[in-house]
Amino acid sequence: MFAILVAGIALWVAAHFFKRLAPDARANMGDKGKGIAALAIIVSLVLIITGYRGAEIVTVWNPPGFMVHINNLLMLVAVFIYGMSATTGTLRGKLRHPQLLAVKIWAVAHLLANGDLASIILFGSMLLWAGGSVALINRAEEWNRPEPGDPSKNKLLVIITIVMFAVITAIHTWLGVWPFPG
């Protein structure tokens, strides 16, 4: 199952980096390239989830119990920052790459709370991928900071954050991982 996990991660990285590393090849694909990239990302997610869930548990380190609480707090921050990219409140433009920063926070949070090999491979590689993505984007594009938006949209961001955190918690629970140990 580790091979399936690694194959999924490799496909994820390739699908996301293709546009940046081979822009001419991607441009030659035209609109159908978007569909191919989307399909590759979906397949990569299936492989990652299948490989991760089926991987043998190989303990590398035993994180202290309080790391789960730090993970949950960092996840709330990650969801909030991820949402900043989709809202038009006063926080818009405060961060250049809110989605990728959120992935980095998500990865670090899960590395702190999980000491098994599959988690280290998955979350460590996603941390490296997000960092590499930021570097590639920054090298290729100049950033024009957007103007801050309507302050009332900040309330929407908070509501979306709470709802998305609840959804993520529900998904973890459905998968058999209760994120709030006693």
Report pLDDT for 182.
Answer: 67
pLDDT in tens, 8-44: 999 999 999 998 899 889 889 988 989 999 999 999 9
CA–CA distance, 73 with 134 (Å, rounded to integer): 24
User: What Cα–Cα distance (Å) separates residue 39 from each residue in 81, 101, 121, 123, 162?
Assistant: 26, 24, 23, 22, 30
Report pLDDT for 162.
Answer: 95
Q: What are phi and psi of 102, to 5 degrees?
A: -60, -40
Residue-averaged pLDDT of the chain: 93
pLDDT bracket for residue 72 (50, 70, 90): very high
pLDDT in tens, 117-169: 999 999 999 999 999 999 999 998 898 888 888 888 899 999 999 999 999 99
CB 132 within 8 A of CB 66: no
User: What Cα–Cα distance (Å) separates residue 91 from each residue in 22, 35, 145, 146?
Assistant: 33, 32, 11, 10
DSSP 96: S
Rg, C-alpha atoms of the chain: 18
Pick 129 or 85 by higher pLDDT: 129
Report pLDDT for 36.
Answer: 94
pTM of the full structure: 0.92
Domain map of the chain by residue range? 1-56, 57-182
* % of the chain residues with pLDDT over 70: 99
Report pLDDT for 110.
Answer: 97
